[in-house]
Structure 1
Amino acid sequence: MAGANVIYGLGLQEGGMTMDAAQLVFDNEVARMVRFIIGGIPVNDETLSVDAIKEVGSFKDFLMHPSTLKYVRSQSRTEVICRKNRSKWENDGSKDTAAKANEKARWIIENHEIKTPISKEARSEIDRILKSSEKDLGY
């Protein structure tokens, strides 16, 4: 598909032979950030906070200015990648990215509701393919 922004291989490991749900969650987050950047980051007086810079002045604190708070969340909406400082991260349980991705993957698996169930015919065909593959691989 020419011109499409396709990201391939999310969740795959071992050269595509294995799928890992936690890896899929992590890769999805990275892909979301990449697609955001590919879509272009608006650069103008408002997003550069030109008025805030004039208001606050040189070498002052911009972190708590409303313009910073307005745009900081549009740049990075991570769920498993931690953006907290160390003390906040430690107070929140010190979970690393892999643990958070695993928890989110398990939550999705346990709570996801299939909106369009797979037909009995499709399920039978999937079972047939799996059994054939297991036989070919000696399982």
Structure 2
Amino acid sequence: MAKRKEIRRANARRGEIEAVLDGKRRILCLTLASLAELETAFQAEDLTALATRFSQGRLKAQDMITILAAGLRGGGASLDEGEVAAMRAEGGLAELARLTGALLSATFDMPQESTNRIADRTGAARGAGDAADP
């Protein structure tokens, strides 16, 4: 009898989310190490400053890459920011913005309207296309 490969699912209680990037299902999670990485990357004094910055909903494309890369590494992937920057998601920029907001919301328990601003302010709500496209 063949063994079935067990598929790991995201555990929302641990702040994990699922994403399909480059056609592969992945789990993202901002672990304590990932959060320390983001504090350094964003020159945040502490977690409160980091959460405050993100709750404003104003992110650059590089910010999204940094956050998603940290989340992917926290979920167990060994990827650098260059590899993450080249990834594609079905739904393009809108989906990448949604994933960034969902990851921050799962980590910081942000209200949905804060994470919606990320998609709105990136232009993702207007269907700006795939982040990797010119």
Q: TM-score, normalised by structure 1?
A: 0.23
- TM-score under structure 2 normalisation? 0.24
The structure with more radius of gyration:
1
The structure with more strand, counted as a fraction of residues: 2
